Chain A
Amino acid sequence: MLFAIGVVGVVVRRNPLVIFMSIELALNAANLALVAFGHRHGSADGQVLVFFVMAVAAAEVAVGLAIIVVIFRVRHRLSVDDLSLMRW
């Protein structure tokens, strides 16, 4: 079942185009690796950790999307190339 990690890695490599969703993808890859390791070593600790990762991901997505919406409201444009200032 360690081979599952292989799939995880394949999922991880990607360029940031739809950056946020890609972050979700990477988080999921790490989650899958954790579950697979837990399965291999016969412990449920990895699954608890994945549970925490899910909660943190939910919080991160909420805050991140809110920031993106605010930026769009101010800039009326949405591209990471424009965002070089830390203030507006």
Chain B
Amino acid sequence: MSAAAFFLIALVVVGSALGLVLKRNPVHGALFLVVNLGAIAALYLTLGAEFLAAAQVIVYAGAIMVLFVFAIMVLIPGKEETGPDPRRRYRLVAAPVGLVLLAELALIAARRGAPRGPGSPGGVEAIGRLLFTDYLFPFELTSVLLLAAMVGVLLLARPRA
């Protein structure tokens, strides 16, 4: 049952990722990305990481995707990928690179089986405890980073004098 659910969700994840990459229309790509992020949240749930699943939906599918959709709507791209590609030779390198990565992965997967782990504590309590004890400094650093990003974006978005 759990394996079947995993394969189903994994299929959705991979399919939507391929859709994102292969579709020309960036709006379609954004929609595929939403599907992808939701499916990954489901995978987190199957791995027992409830907090991360919720955070994934809120942060990624909520905040980041809204940003993306806004940017797409503001910029209305899509026309620039028609016509002859000036860098076709470089783009063709992408396929071999992807194949090499895949082969590497298959090698690792073939060497190691699929052992079941003991499972991890995924509740809010465990993560919160870790976050505010062992990882307190990185946590505070993250807040500084977010502040810096906010200030930087405000500076960029300011009308140029």
Q: Which residues of A are in contact with B by a Cβ distance under 8 Å?
A: 1-7, 9-18, 20-22, 24-25, 28, 31-32, 35-36, 38-48, 50-52, 54-63, 65-70, 72, 77-79, 81
Contact = CB atoms under 8 A, between A and B. Distances in A.
Interface centre among B14, B117, B120 (most CB of A within 10 A): B120
Interface residues of B, number: 83
Contacts of A79: 80-81
Given A13-B101, A14-B17, A39-B47, A65 B55 contact: no
Given A31-B52, A35-B47, A45-B130, 20 more contacts: A5-B109, A6-B109, A9-B104, A11-B14, A14-B21, A15-B95, A17-B22, A21-B20, A22-B21, A25-B17, A25-B20, A35-B43, A41-B117, A51-B52, A54-B60, A65-B68, A65-B71, A70-B156, A72-B75, A78-B77
Interface string B105-145: 11011001111111111100011001100110011001001
A83 to B, nearest CB: 12
B161 interface: no
Given A1-B47, A44-B130, A56 B145 contact: yes
Contacts of A60: 149
A57 B63 CA distance: 11
Contact of A35 (B18, B49, B121): B49
B130 A6 contact: no
A48 B138 CA distance: 10
